[in-house]
Structure 1
Amino acid sequence: ATEETAELCDRMLDLGVIVQPTGDHLNILKIKPPLCIDTTAADFFADMLDLALVQLGHGHSW
């Protein structure tokens, strides 16, 4: 899923969240939140990941 992971990373960047592909096949998301992340920021990340997956046709809207 190398292409899908790259597409998801690009979409997340458009939504204001930086994630990077990693792994031998570049199909794993690298998420590095700062150690001072709070609940609001974690919720924002989860919401944007859900939105990006739904927009790309790979997720479910809760």
Structure 2
Amino acid sequence: MAESPKKTLPLAFGMVMYEGDPEVVKAVLAHAPLPARVLMPIIGPRLYASHAKRVHGTSNPPRVGTN
């Protein structure tokens, strides 16, 4: 993610929040700068839901590994 354009990071983080273990997400955010700690939990899921709606037709597609 360090090499990704900054404008794509909120969507990528939203994807990680959707698929990832909440404890791992919490640990990652603990090391992030304050603005990211505050904004990513709000912006990331919203951007991912919008993206998923366009791609999958629903804002809550099946998670990886679940059928």
Note whether the superposition's TM-score is higher than 0.5.
Answer: no
Which structure is larger by alpha-carbon Rg, 1 or 2? Answer: 2
Q: TM-score, normalised by structure 1?
A: 0.40
Q: TM-score, normalised by structure 2?
A: 0.38
Higher relative contact order (CA 8 A, sep 6+): 2
